[in-house]
Amino acid sequence: MTPDLLALPDFSNRSFLFVLGSSRPDGNSEILAREAAAHLPADVPQRWVDLNELSLPDFRDGRHEETGPPTHGTEKLLLEATVGATDVVIVSPLYWYSLSAQAKRYLDHWSGWLNVPGSDFKERMAGGTLWGVTALAHDEHVVAEGLVTSLHHSAAYLRMRFGGVLTGTGSRPGRVRADEAALLRARTFFRTEPPLALFPYEEGVGAGV
């Protein structure tokens, strides 16, 4: 069976949030993510957020202080967009074998949202799916395992599903378009049924949701 003939999963009542964390517009990671998104069913809602276009402050840990709802407009926008999606796709180039500063700052704010009164952030994220897309300046994609582990464990903590990370080779602008294997993987990337993310110590012991 060819990739184009693979059965589509049930996309009813699903919506995708693509969070762009590159330091430049139209980067290789975004090109790869848009290729994958183009193969979603046309009626599946997509929302794209470019962190470079938003004034998101550095995360300040206030877990042991009295905190209220996010007062910064950008933070509130991102919180609502995040909990409003069933599928969150982190689109980040591989920088020093991990996420970009922009993407990491966004994930750091998840820590704060866990403690926003009435947000029920962890409960609302549970059961959703976290995905990743990254371009790297290396032909051996195993070097991106640090980024993969970071996203996988974040999903495990929130009891989300993890769809994996779509990787492609690209350093110079547009280079990922020459990675034919990555573009082929992109066509079916979102057609999988992602498993519940589990920490390594939970695997094989019948951990529940």
Measured CA to CA, the distance from residue 18 to residue 49 in angstroms comes to: 6
State whether residue 135 is helix, strand or coil. Answer: strand
What mean pLDDT do residues 30-41 have? 98
Mean pLDDT of 16-20: 98
At what angle are helices 180-188 and 28-37 packed, to 10 degrees?
Answer: 40
pLDDT of res. 1 = 43
Please state the pTM of the whole predicted model: 0.90
**What does the pLDDT average to over 30-42?**
97
Residue 132 in this model has a pLDDT that exceeds 60: yes
Q: Report the DSSP pairing between strands 161-169 and 16-20.
A: unpaired
Q: What gap in Å lies between CA 178 and CA 94, rounded to an integer?
A: 18
- Cβ 28 vs Cβ 183: under 8 Å: no
d(CA 46, CA 148): 23
